[in-house]
Structure 1
Amino acid sequence: MELNSIGLKAKESIDLAKGLNELLANFQQYYMNLRGIHWNIKGKQFFDLHQKFEELYTDTNQKVDEIAERILTLGGVPYHTFEDYLGNSQISVGKNITGDEEAVQLIVDSLKQLLILERRILVASDEANDEGTNAMMSDFITEQEKTVWMMKAWLSEEI
């Protein structure tokens, strides 16, 4: 059993880095969607949503950096091209969305996909005894679940 420089099994670390790269690709697509709806939102909710979408894409940009740095810490190489992002993301591209409900629904759908991936990584990082990745996923999940709840409340929908 070969350990890497942070004391984790080398193969498990590389496998976790692969999962994190998939998450990174999805986060990058989510980020681009947030930028698009921030720029293109129209209607009576413009001021509130424009500001909220900026808050979300700023936070997402920070998370993208954290994920990439974790991939590097585990010995992997983070994706860094649009080709990589599009080829490895399950999040739908939100193009030319201007309506408030459609924009908020895109966020809910995107977060659902991110949460699925994060929970998968959470289980794998727990099994690998990788507290760094585990803590990151736990923090992301907690924050995103709250965002989904808030967005669903805005849509007047149940969780």
Structure 2
Amino acid sequence: MQDLTVTGLEKKSNQELATKLNELLANYHIYYQNVRGFHWNIKGSNFFQLHAKFEELYTNALTRIDEIAERILTLGYTPLHSFSEFINKSSIKESQNLTTDRDTVGTTIENLTLLIKLEREILKLADEGDDEGTEGLISEDLNDNEKNLWMLNAFLNG
């Protein structure tokens, strides 16, 4: 029983998963800030459409951030919670001064692609560790992110 967590998961795989979830959490924070900035600063003929879409994306990201942090806590670990940690652990980089549809949507596509890659890595770890709770959380988010990626690509390439 010493090698199991309070949720009945193996401690070693649980720790790897929590580390990867913290990486996802950091990336989500930077992604959130990027799309929030795009919402505020978008200009041009697609303003109304993208202003609303970016609001949808950052609102969903805020919910996901909370769910990821709570899952880390459920696994028995501490979620990252400072901006310096988010910046240091994130593969997604801060975006500044982007105001056009092509730049903001293109950057959002790049950011979503990174989130999806991380989510697939987490799904593999969760599957190996028999962690259905994390699998369910990430699977739902992955599906939403893939759909948004498809839609944003259709917007840019339409």
TM (norm. structure 1) is 0.96
Matching residue of 1:23? 24
CA distance in 2, matches of 1:86, 1:137: 22
1:8-157 equivalences in 2 (<5 Å):
8-156=9-157
Q: Structure 1: give runs of 5+ residues left out of the alignment.
A: none
Structure 2: gaps spanning 5 or more residues: none
1:93 deviates by 1.4
Instruction: Compute the displacement of 1:92 (Å).
Output: 2.2
What is the SS of the residue equivalent to 1:24?
helix
TM-score under structure 2 normalisation?
A: 0.97
After superposition, give the CA deviation of every residue in 1:52-73 in whole Å (9 maximum; x if it has no partner): 1001100000000000000000
Letter in 2 for 1:142: N
Deviation at 1:29, TM superposition (A): 0.3
| Distance apart, 1:144 and its partner CA | 0.7
Give 1:106 deviation, angstroms. 0.8
User: How far off its partner does 1:154 sit?
Assistant: 0.3
Q: 3-state SS of the aligned residue for 1:51?
A: helix
Q: Percent identity?
A: 48
CA contact (8 A) 2:41 2:99 kept: yes
* Matched position secondary structure for 2:81: coil
CA distance in 1, matches of 2:15, 2:76: 6
Report how many residues are paired.
Answer: 157
Q: Please give the root-mean-square deviation of Cα atoms over the aligned residues, in Å.
A: 1.0
Determine whether 1:6 maps to 2:7.
yes
